[in-house]
Amino acid sequence: MRIGPFELPNQVFVAPMAGVTDRPFRQLCRRLGAGHAVSEMVTSRKELWNSLKTSRRADHAGEPGPIAVQIAGTDAGMMAEAAAYNIDRGAQIIDINMGCPAKKVCNKWAGSALMRDEALALQIVEAVVGVCAPRGVPVTLKMRTGWCDSERNALTIARAAEAAGIALLTVHGRTREQGYKGTAEYDTIAAVKAALRIPVVANGDITTPQKAREVLRLTNADAVMIGRAAQGRPWIFREITHFLATGDELAPPLTSEVRGWLLEHLHEHYALYGEWTGVRSARKHIGWAVRALPGGEAFRAVMNTLDTAEAQIAALRGYFDGLADRHALLPQAAAGSAANDEELEAA
């Protein structure tokens, strides 16, 4: 599996999720088997580049390559500038966001709203590729199947994007109108894959190793991308890669392993955000991690009242130490949290 000059270890990727896939979370997913990870979307608005939020999203300290940064915006020139800005700060792959369905993104005609203006979408692709190609930086694109059922134009945009120099394309099997509701459809992804020569990645409703194999079969895609199912369950990447390689299910991780991963993640999370912001933003990660464990919901309620890193760490250690079954974590059948427009932050 390759993106431009970069050879990836496998075909199971982490989806970019604003407010979720920050550097500590990406690093955790990679340690647990993800072959590729794309950053949260970074705004193309120059006046926001020095903001604390954007500076954290552009922080790649200690992150293994290739470093992929997703940019979002509606102006071709500004998107090209944003690409160059992020390359100067370590980006080795630039990803264009045409897939985010969040209202506060689409209301500004960014994200998946760009699919309603094919000419502008192509201008942005051409401008970003024009800046990246001379620097040897491949450009990827993430999009949906279209704006709504009557405006499914993924195939048209995909062909134009490939002709403009896109190195890899990811398709989420829903329209913007669907958001995260209903079920993903894979016929459009299959049609896009059949029409293109570049690698195509399938995204949407991939929650188990079996589903990953089924989606690869249905779409003939080159890779799968996991989003919500990785929230609180980052070991899903090693489960899928093992299953695709061997056909055997990997044993669930020990609760002691989950405890170790979570505590390690939290220490890195606090280091990036500082204590005040880090404690509050860590609550969702903790809640996702414990929701399927005995007493998880009650513990989550308590966790949401704690306001120091020391208190969170102590409570987590006590909770895991008190679990009766220390041998294995029961596998989850459901996806991650039911992400919606309010949960997915805009850049």
Q: Which amino acid is at 106?
A: C
Instruction: For CA atoms 201, 203, 208, 213, give the dihedral sign.
Output: negative
**The one catalytic residue among 100, 106, 132, 148:** 100
Burial tier of 126 (Cβ tally within 10 Å: 0-12, 13-18, 19+): middle
Q: Is the pTM of this model over 0.75?
A: yes
Which pLDDT score is estimated for 324? 56
Does 148 participate in catalysis according to the annotation? Answer: no
3-state DSSP percent of the chain in helix, strand and coil, to 5? 45, 15, 40
Mean pLDDT, consecutive 10-residue stretches, the chain (347 aa), reads 94 93 94 94 78 75 89 92 93 88 48 81 96 97 82 90 97 80 89 97 96 97 96 96 96 89 95 94 94 89 94 94 61 43 35
Q: Which amino acid is at 93?
A: I
Name the CA dihedral angle for 191, 194, 200, 202, rounded to a multiple of 10 degrees.
Answer: 40
Could you tell me the CA-to-CA distances from 99 to 109, 114, 169 in Å, in that order? 11, 9, 11
Structure-block tokens of residue 342: 């309010």
How is 245-300 classified by DSSP, letter by letter?
HHSSPPPPPPHHHHHHHHHHHHHHHHHHH-HHHHHHHHHHHHHHHHTTSTTHHHHH
How is 104-160 classified by DSSP, letter by letter?
HHHTTT-GGGGGG-HHHHHHHHHHHHHHHGGGT--EEEEEEEESSTT---HHHHHHH
How is 8-31 classified by DSSP, letter by letter?
PS-SEEEPP-TTT--HHHHHHHHH
Count CA atoms closer than 13 A to 141's CA, side-chain side. Answer: 31
Which pLDDT score is estimated for 99? 66
Q: How many separate helices (H) and strands (E) can be counted in the chain?
A: 13, 10
Q: What does the alpha-carbon distance between residue 215 and residue 271 come to, in Å, rounded to a whole number?
A: 37
